[in-house]
Amino acid sequence: MDYARFVDQRTAAWDGFESRLDEARAGRLSHGALEELAFLYRQVLHDHALVRHRFPRTGAARRLERLALDGTRTLGVERGGHVMGPYRFLTEAFPRAFRRHLGSCGAVALVFVSSLLLGFSLTTLRPAIGAALLGPERVEGLREGHLWTESLVSSIPPAVSSSFIATNNMGVALMGWAGGALAGLGALYIALLNGFVLGAIVAVTWHFSMASNLLEFVSAHGPLELTLIVVTAGAGLGMGQALVAATDRPRRKAVADAARDALVILLGCLPWFVLLGLVEGGISPSPSVAWPLKLALGLGLEACFLTFAWNPFLKEPR
């Protein structure tokens, strides 16, 4: 890459970013201009990282370092000089992003439920499908009247299993969220795959008269876990829609807004996966906790998340 050509191509964007920063400091920035500033800020950070690696100690490197610092200070501070903390993020930013993605979350939920019913129906007709997904060892345990989840109590310390479960669930959510970069196809794939597998597993446990045991196990964590996967995949689908859908807005701005909302949704959901890991590793497999209590916990967690995500006390700006 030629340094002079790179600077010539990018200077206009840097000038525009600097101009928007001046407007932001003066309090003259409209909502649309603020969105443009956020987009230009990401470009400046990208250019800064590139220049530091390829053209260190140059004029462009010094300017981009200054712009990156100025942008971080300006965008990180709200009017009045207060930094947006976790409380504002969780009670305002996350609910607003969640509301804007209700349509894409609904589409993912429809795909998930349809795939679940398909997996259940096919496995009911051909139990070998579910047996292939579970593996011979788990199927043999079902024949003997044992669910594979019993091993979570006897062989793995709760702290270890909780950490593993939370990490695994976050991985699934991240795959669905990142799938938005593939025009939303990755997010839909995660919904299809997880729905089909869940339906097939329920069907094969039904075949061995163990479905009640499975449903008791998932009652404490399952409702919220599935909701979180749908919501994060819905955020990814929202990014995909912005990439391919034709609107009256510039595609660049539409994608930038969708990506920002998707990131907010992902960050808002991740703490709940940690909580679910504790529940799934310690409470769900425990035989000492009665199933009505597990079900009440599962429904309570679901209600808490939905209330938090929607935030009925939040007023949309006019």
- In terms of phi and psi (left: phi > 0; alpha: psi -120 to 50; beta: otherwise), the region of 27 is left
Predicted confidence band of residue 262 (pLDDT cuts 50, 70, 90): confident
Burial of 209 (0-12, 13-18, 19+ CB in 10 A): exposed
Both tokens of 249, joined, read 């807005």
In 3D, which of 34, 42, 35 has the Cα closest to residue 13?
A: 42
Q: Cβ distance 183 to 193 under 8 Å?
A: no
**152-205 pLDDT, tens digit each:** 555 555 444 455 555 666 676 677 666 665 667 888 888 999 999 999 999 999
Taking residues 58-79, report their average pLDDT. 73
d(CA 318, CA 304): 27
Over residues 47-63, the pLDDT tens digits come to: 887 887 788 888 888 88
**Among 135, 7, 118, 112, which Cα is nearest to 61's?**
7
Quote the DSSP letter at residue 149: G
Residue 65 has pLDDT above 90, yes or no: no
pTM here is: 0.68
Cα four-point dihedral sign 50, 174, 302, 192: positive
How far apart CA 298 and CA 289 sit, in angstroms, is: 13
Looking at residue 73, what is its pLDDT? 67
- Give me the pLDDT at residue 79, please: 43
Please tell me the predicted confidence (pLDDT) of residue 32. 64
pLDDT tens-digit series, residues 12-41: 888 888 888 777 766 665 656 666 777 787
CA distance 48 to 69: 11
Element (H, E) at 99: helix 94-100
